[in-house]
Amino acid sequence: MRSEIAYFSESPLNATYRLVEKVITLDNISLIDFLGVENTNIKEVAAAFPMSKIISRGNEIRIKGTTPEIARISDILESLLEHYQRYGKITHDNVQSYLSQGGAASTGTVPPVPPNDEEVLVYGNRGVVVRAKTENQKKLVEAAEKYDLVFATGPAGTGKTYTAVAIAVRALKNKEVKKIIITRPAVEAGENLGFLPGDLKEKIDPYLRPIYDALDDMIPAEKLKLYQENRIIEIAPLAYMRGRTLNNAFILLDEAQNTTPMQMKMFLTRMGPSSKAIITGDKSQIDLPNKQKSGLVESIDILKPIKGIAFVELDGSDVVRHRLVREIITAYEKAGQ
């Protein structure tokens, strides 16, 4: 949020009561989630200050009034913005709560937060609350907080990718990193991209669909689009990482079992200063041709002695999909596959 103050009318009264105009610019914000449908949230704030004029146009909010009232309105808007950054949405009750308090900046308090708030990773869209649901998912969250490089392996449905994306989104929202980079090798079940229809984007997008699905749960569509347009969030095939040094970024490598040893080494050496990385994969679902060795399997063997790298293993008990998925995984494990 950026703001500017301009004096638009001189008055013989004390400067404290001089009429001023303040312009607040909302940057990188989903306007409908912050302002409300048809600007209802801002209209509620305006109704509480009938002596001032509050107008919302595009991503700008213009306030005209006396200096004391503008200060109070600014406090409330700043508190609402902090609430939005934390929870991703502003409701009627939120507005009323901050109005009754006069803004967190003036009272030093904020409305009550849900219980076990420290366990919540992201407050997403449509009331979605993302948190680690199993013990091993919690271990993944704890490992990501302590270590800059984390390997998370386990079968399908254990929430590896979803939890990793949530950890990265939380880091971005908390301004711990400046960008998120998510990548996958474009190798699936023996298919060759050259034989698939469409241009490169149309060929690649199906491989990246699980990443988009996770992000859609966690970030408003308008804001996600803005993040991607400004390359704050990048989603790309692994081949696009070659030659880059990734600074101040949270980097996720998904489906890492389908990397070759050379690709894995290339990825691991992309990390720059102030970067963190999570590598996820399922060692039981390697789709590389000709029984080529998996870069994920090799890297775990090579890197285990290095201090500062965490390894988290998820299993059938962490499956959060349909109950049958857990039983299917158990059956395959018993069959040695």
CATH number of the domain bearing residue 284: 3.40.50.300
Lowest mean pLDDT among 149-158, 183-192, 273-282: 183-192
Same-domain pairing of 205 and 238: yes
Residue 7's pLDDT band, with cuts at 50, 70 and 90, is: very low
Same-domain pairing of 223 and 311: yes
Same-domain pairing of 162 and 308: yes
- Across 42-46, 47-51, 253-257, 288-292, which has the greatest mean pLDDT? 253-257
Same-domain pairing of 88 and 137: no
| 108: in domain | no
Determine the structural domain holding residue 82 and report its residue range.
5-101
pLDDT, tens digit, 9 for 90 and up, residues 296-323 = 999 999 999 999 999 999 987 777 666 6
| 115: in domain | no
> Rounded to two decimals, what is the model's pTM?
0.65
Domains identified in the chain, total number: 2
User: Which of 101, 130, 156 finishes a domain?
Assistant: 101
Same-domain pairing of 88 and 143: no
Taking alpha carbons only, the member of 233, 218, 223, 219 closest to residue 179 is 233
| 107: in domain | no
Separation of alpha carbons 161 and 156, rounded Å: 10
DSSP state of 290: G
CATH number at residue 19: 3.30.1370.10
User: Which of 67, 101, 135 finishes a domain?
Assistant: 101
Separation of alpha carbons 156 and 170, rounded Å: 23
Separation of alpha carbons 163 and 218, rounded Å: 11
Compute φ and ψ for 11, nearest 5 degrees: -140, 145
Same-domain pairing of 72 and 145: no
Separation of alpha carbons 157 and 322, rounded Å: 9
pLDDT, tens digit, 9 for 90 and up, residues 264-281 = 999 999 898 889 999 999
Same-domain pairing of 144 and 88: no
Higher per-residue pLDDT: 79 or 296 = 296
User: Which of 53, 69, 101 finishes a domain?
Assistant: 101
Separation of alpha carbons 285 and 337, rounded Å: 9
